[in-house]
Structure formats: structure tokens, C-alpha cells
Amino acid sequence: MKYTLLIILGMIFLQSKAQGSTNLKLNKTYSKVLNNESITLRFPQKKTIKLDSFTVAIDSSQLSFLKDFSLLDNNELIRNYKRHVFSGSKTRTISQFLGPIVILIDEKLPQEIKSSFINFIEDIPEIENLKFSFTKNLEDANYFIDIVDNEVSAYSKDDFNALDEQEILNDTFSQMTYKLYANKNNKFISCHYKISPSIINDSLFLTKLKKGFFSSLGGFYESYRAPKESFLNSKTDINNVYLSDYDIMVLKYHYKHLYQFSINSNGFDTLINFRKQLIN
Amino acid sequence: MRIYFIIFSLLCSLISLGQEIETKITSHKEKDTETIETSHSRALLPLKYYKQKFKKPLTRKDSLNFVYKDNDTLVVIENYKPKGISVFYEYKDSTFLDLYTRVAFKFKNDSLKNEATMKYWKDDISIYFAKEIPKKSKKKFLDFANNVINQVDSLKLKEVKRIEDSNYIIYYSGSFEYESRMEHYTDSDFYMHWNGKNQIYKVALRIKSDDLFNENLRLIEMKRLFFQSLGYFQFNTDLDCSNYFSGCYAESETLSNLDIELLQYHYSYGICKGTDYKSFITQHEKAKEVLREKNIRIVFLHEE
């Protein structure tokens, strides 16, 4: 297989290392090369035919974002971020929303909750590659917060039945769940956020809704190690009305660049190493 | 004017038996079209295939003429003219073939790779849309589908109004369940039927309308599944997003030159159709060897 490397931004070393590693698979561009080779046939008549070939190019500009990605230099942030995104898994990949998130909130959501929730979102500072807006038209939405008619849970029926009352109360997704629709490039196209009708009047509902919504923005995992004021902390008794600085940092980190290729935990480590080499 | 030559040909129907034969064609019309006709041929058929195909006892002459090759007994048949079309080998380089096999042959793990088969439509596709699908969505879908289909000469698509005239049904969950085997599927999907030649002859495509809560989302998924069902295709995430085969649907919905090249090749008769991966690779090796060493393109005989 022939690889033609397009050298952009003088990142030759990044390119070769990326291909040498199985951790990071940059996108390839295939091109047909015309008139590369020919052969003269003896039958049915003497005739020369072209044997077209294909070349594969890997555009190293896919990594050019690294030069401005100073957040990757913060070891503590990296450790925390990886916990929320990969949760110790080697196979989970970074997933991001494709475009602006256009939210439709079910009319059945109590007005007070709705207003608080909208305020919560509108308070999120500007994040690169992540925008929010609201709509009243289902056809325009790509994020639907839906009070469904039946009871839903992120747990299977058996697992839910095994939870005691306190666990149900404390768990964000015991009575809510969301389904993200993604393409093969790990980009979220839409989210259907489903809420059990029975949870609406619970005192922790608004907090759980905020936590769940925030988690859906990157398929983030909660952790007990996150600061207690963070919406990514596993506990649900958070007094914060708005996102904490920690949460905002995670979000900025996550959406700093919309990746064109798949990144798992090892791939992410490779990116960090590339960045180190780039700045040293 | 007629010319006389001996060329190699491969009978595609035997590929599925894991056995190739060589038919020597001794005359040929002087016409360099991709479809050729044979006027006389001498075939060497594996004994197993002979018994299966002809269902008549071998004569003493047949037995005396047996040819032994690669631990196989071959029966010589003079004037063997299978019904079908003969097409010259279509050359593709290893880079393209590597990419093609990764989208056309679906397998769970490498140990099953050789047995994985490529699947294709032989007949026209007649789509029936369930009544819950809005006209607007139908139109947008058909615009996309026709654009894809029009890239392939041997593929035709039409919408039919009666379900009994269809071989492709598109419907939403929550209404009539046209394919009960998908009833409990948690995601949108299709259920595909194919025959022993790996020719696709029926598909039911089901959109999970509750998860995909508006027509825009349903349409993206409908297009994605339809595209994949044209050949039981897999997406290749190594490709950049300008290609539909990259799986970046919703990011790009137009077909790139590479998409078209892959689609057209899938439906090209310049190689046997419906084969398993191992046969596909073996055929190419053989065809390339003959092309480079003898300057002749192998002919693939596609039996009816």
C-alpha cells in the first residue's frame, strides 16, 4: 500500500509517529492515479489498457489543532478528564455533538423547573464548538427533553428492581435515561432525553436533570472523585445552581476540537505525547 | 472477421464450491466489449460439481478422460457453453481492493474473514413505503436513493404502491410490524434476505421512530440503512468524512468519487459476484497473474 503524506504545518514527525502507533488512526484520503501503469493486451485485439491505481494520503493537518491545545499540558486536568470520558475503559472513545444543540423541552415539564433549567443552560459560558438554543418546534430540535408516559430508567428491569429506595433517590439515572444517536465518526446527531413522570415532583429532580443533561453532552461518566460542587460528582445532593468551574473546564476541554478521527484512551495519551514533543 | 485464441475463464457459479475451473475458449468475436460471447469451449468440471449440475451418469469415455489436478478429479466436457454472460476481468490495484474488501465483506472477527461473503442485488429494487411515512420524507429519501442507484448501471429502483409488488419495505416502529423478527430490536435496522448465490432479494427497513423523534433524524437513518443494504456494506472509519462510506452520515450526504467507485465496483461483473472473501482474493491473484504474465484478461462467466 502506498502512502503519500501531505506535509502540512511541518508536522512530519507527528505524522510518522501517528502511523507507527496503533493507538491513533488518522483519516485517510484515497485518490485515483490515472495513467500510472499500462499493459498491452494480446486478445481479443492488440490494445493497451491503463491499470489505474490508488494512493492513500494522510493529511497531518488533522493534528494541527495540537499546537493551540494548551489544556493538554495540565496533568491534573487530563487525569480528571479521562476519568469522565473513558472511565477506565480502553475501548471507549471521545464522542461529541456535531453542531449546535437545539433543545425542545416537553410542555409537561413544570414551568418553574423549566425556567431554572433554561437559566442553567444559558449561564454556560461560551464554549468553542458548542452552542445551545431552544425551540418549540420538534422538527427543528436535535435534543428533546421528553416526559414520557411510562416509567423509564437507565437500568435494566432486573437491575432497577435490585436498587433500594435510597439508591433510587441518589442515582441520577434511576428514573431518567437518554439515548444518543451518533454516526460512526463518534458524533452525536441527536439526543432523546426521557424522564419518568413519577420523578417530576421529587426534590432532587432539577439537580438530576441538570446532571443528566450535562453528562449527555459528552457521554460523560460521573465520579465520586469529582469536586463535590461538580455536576459530574456521583452524589446528587449538589447545592450548585450552575455549572462549577470544574465542569466548565471539562466541557471546554471536550469541545476544544471536533476530532475527525476516533480517539480511545490510548489514542488520547498519544495526542498528549505529540503535544509534549511539539512544545519542547 | 473471427480470431482464434485460447483464453482462461472462470465460471463464477463454481466459486461458491471453493473450486475454480478453467474453460478454454477457442474462438471469439473480434469485438472488444466488456461482454463477450463464446462459440466453443472445453471445460474441466470438478466431479462433485458435475454430478450436482448434470445429474446423469458418467460415460466410460468421461472416466477415461478424467484430469487430476490439485487432488481433485476433473471431468472434461467439450462444447460446454453455460448460459449467462461473460465479462472481462476488471483490474483493480491492491490499495483499492483492500479498501473494497473492508466495506463489502462483513465478518465478526478475523478467523471468520475467509468465509465472509459479499452480497448484492440482482433484481430491481421495488420499495413500498408504509403509510406513516410523510410524503416529504419519502421524496427526500427517493432523491437520495435515486442519486445513489443512478451511479450503478445494473441497479434500478422504483416505488410501488402495493406491498405484494415490493421487495423492499420501509416502515416506522410503533405501526404495523412488517418484519416480526425486528420487533424487539432496540435500534433502527434492516432485515435482509439473500439466496444461496448471496443475491439480496428482500429487505425490511425499520426506523425506531420514538428515539429518532423527528423526520429529519429519521431521514438520516433511513438513508444510512438503505445505503448499507445495497451490499450489506460496512462503514470504514479510516476514510475522511467527505466519503459516505466513512460513516459520517449527517456530516456529508453526497457521494464522493471514491464512494461511486466502490459502489460501481461492487456491481461490476468484471469479477465474480456473491463470492466469499477467500475466493475473491484468489480470483484476483489468478486474474492479475494471467494479465501480467500472458497479457490476457481472464473472462468471468456469470451463469444464469
pLDDT (tens digit, 9 = 90+) per residue, B151-197? Answer: 999 999 999 999 999 999 999 999 999 999 999 999 999 999 999 99
Q: Which helix (H) or strand (E) holds A6?
A: strand A3-6
Q: How many CB atoms lie within 10 A of CB A123?
A: 11
Closest by Cα among B67, B6, B76 to B40: B6
Report residue A222 as a C-alpha cell: 460521573
Sheet of B84-88, strands arranged across: B9-11, B299-303, B84-88, B35-36
By DSSP bridging, strand B199-207 and strand B168-172 are parallel
User: What is the residue-averaged pLDDT of chain B?
Assistant: 84
Which residues in chain A have their CB less than 8 angstroms from residue B289's CB? none
At B47, the pLDDT band (50, 70, 90 cuts) reads: confident
Once rounded to an integer, what is the mean pLDDT over residues B126-131? 98
Q: Tell me, what's the pLDDT at B8?
A: 61
pLDDT tens digits, one per residue of A3-40: 333 333 334 334 444 444 457 889 999 999 876 788 88
Number of other CB atoms surrounding residue A107 within 10 Å: 9
Highest averaged pLDDT of the listed ranges B64-68, B105-109, B247-251, B253-257: B253-257
Segment 90-109 of chain B within 8 Å of chain A by CB: 91, 93-96, 98-99
End-to-end, the C-alpha distance of chain A in Å comes to 33
Place of cell 443475491: B199
Write the burial class of residue A118 (CB in 10 Å: 0-12 exposed, 13-18 middle, 19+ buried): middle
Site from B37, B173, B212, B214 to mutate, A interface, most A CB atoms within 10 angstroms: B214
Question: In this structure, which amino acid lies at residue B93?
Answer: D
User: Is 60 exceeded by the pLDDT of residue B23?
Assistant: no
Q: Which of A12-21, B99-108, B109-118, B214-223 has the lowest mean pLDDT?
A: A12-21
Task: Enter the pTM of the model.
Answer: 0.86
Distance between A100 CA and the closest CA of chain B, angstroms: 13
Kindly indicate the confidence band of residue A244, based on its pLDDT and cuts at 50, 70 and 90. Answer: very high
The reply to whether residue B258 touches residue A30, judged by beta carbons under 8 angstroms, is yes
Report the C-alpha gap between B10 and B26 in whole angstroms.
15
Average pLDDT on A135-142 reads: 97
Spatial distance between the Cα atoms of B198 and B231, rounded to a whole number of angstroms: 10
State the DSSP string of B1-41: -EE---B-EEEHHHHTTT----EEE--EES---SEE-BS-E
> How confident is residue B50, by pLDDT bands cut at 50, 70 and 90?
confident
Nearest CA in chain A to B27: A44
| Higher-scoring residue by pLDDT: A189, B30 | A189
What is the model's pLDDT at position A169? Answer: 85
Give me chain A's average pLDDT, please.
88
